[in-house]
Amino acid sequence: MSERHEREGRILYGRRRGKALRKGQQRLIETLLPELAISLDTDRVELSSLFPENCREYWIEIGFGSGEHLAWQADHNPEVGIIGCEPYLNGVATLLGKLEEQLAKNVRLHNEAAELLTEKLPDACLDRAFILFPDPWPKASHNKRRFVSTSNIAALARVLKSGSELRIATDHTDYGAWILWHMLQSEEFVWEAEKPEDWRARSRDWPSTRYEMKAIEKGLRPVYYRFRRR
């Protein structure tokens, strides 16, 4: 079930909660999440003030689900400050458990729609962005709710540095075509694929997720797009 909710005068869609959290997860929501949460009570979010001084780059993952990919990236790239955006509280709780186990210091979280954060980020502040298996909103009448849109592509182009990378994956055939069409309409990004293998397979620094593996077991064939910011 999806939810329709409002924030700062705009309508947002997506689940906010699932089944009741376990006691340990609730503890993490009450104690660890406030330490990692990014406050939007400011005109501009300065990333250097959020992360340890050793962070040389800043990445963002929009819709991290249960956080397997984000936790892996944080563990393998301790010198990178990673922002995770995910409105679904149960997914946030699952990621918090992973971060606590890893003793990760380089992750900050935004438990709301990503649009609310990106509009407060400075120009050209991010080195990489991930949008992995976003909700496809398969009904034609719901396509307008898809995250990949002309306005969100423009917003990402503004906050991504020149030469930075945007990775987008989906296992939904129609959404895959939708993503490619919209991205190719943008003058700010270049699709890096030169041969089919470039978008049919993940690279070594692109770990799988449980959701992705379930999709593959069902016979679905995900696509893994890479775009470069001009």
Query: What's the per-residue H, E or C state across the chain?
Result: CCCEEEECCEEEECCCCCCCCCHHHHHHHHHHHHHHECCCCCCCCCHHHCCCCCCCEEEEEECCCCCHHHHHHHHHCCCEEEEEECCCHHHHHHHHHHHHHHCCCCEEEECCCHHHHHCCCCCCCEEEEEEECCCCCCCHHHHHHCCCCHHHHHHHHHHEEEEEEEEEEECCHHHHHHHHHHHHHCCCEEECCCCCHHHHCCCCCCCCCHHHHHHHHCCCCCEEEEEEEC
pLDDT-derived band at 19 (thresholds 50, 70, 90) equals confident
219 CB-contact burial (10 Å; exposed 0-12 / middle 13-18 / buried 19+): exposed
Residue 3 has pLDDT above 90, yes or no: no
Over residues 161-170, the mean pLDDT reads 98
Q: What is the mean pLDDT of the chain?
A: 93
Q: What is the pLDDT of residues 183-215, one digit of tens each?
A: 999 999 999 999 999 999 999 999 999 999 999
Q: Pick the more confident residue, 197 or 12.
A: 197
Query: Residue 43 catalytic?
Result: no
In order of their start, the domains of the chain are: 15-229 (3.40.50.150)
- What sign results for the dihedral spanned by CA atoms 54, 56, 61, 67? negative
Task: Work out the pLDDT band at 18, boundaries 50, 70, 90.
Answer: low
Using CB atoms within 10 Å of the CB of residue 16, give its burial: 0 to 12 exposed, 13 to 18 middle, 19+ buried.
middle
At 129, the pLDDT band (50, 70, 90 cuts) reads very high
Question: Among residues 135, 171, 174, 198, which one is catalytic?
Answer: 135
What percent of the chain clears pLDDT 70, i.e. is strictly above it? 92
pTM of the model: 0.93
Any bridge partners for residue 7, and if so which?
A: 10
Between residues 23 and 2, which one has the greater pLDDT? 23
Per-residue pLDDT at 5 exceeds 70: no
In sign, the C-alpha dihedral spanning 8, 13, 14, 16 is positive
Task: Please write the tens of the pLDDT for every residue from 42-85.
Answer: 999 999 999 999 999 999 999 999 999 999 999 999 999 999 99
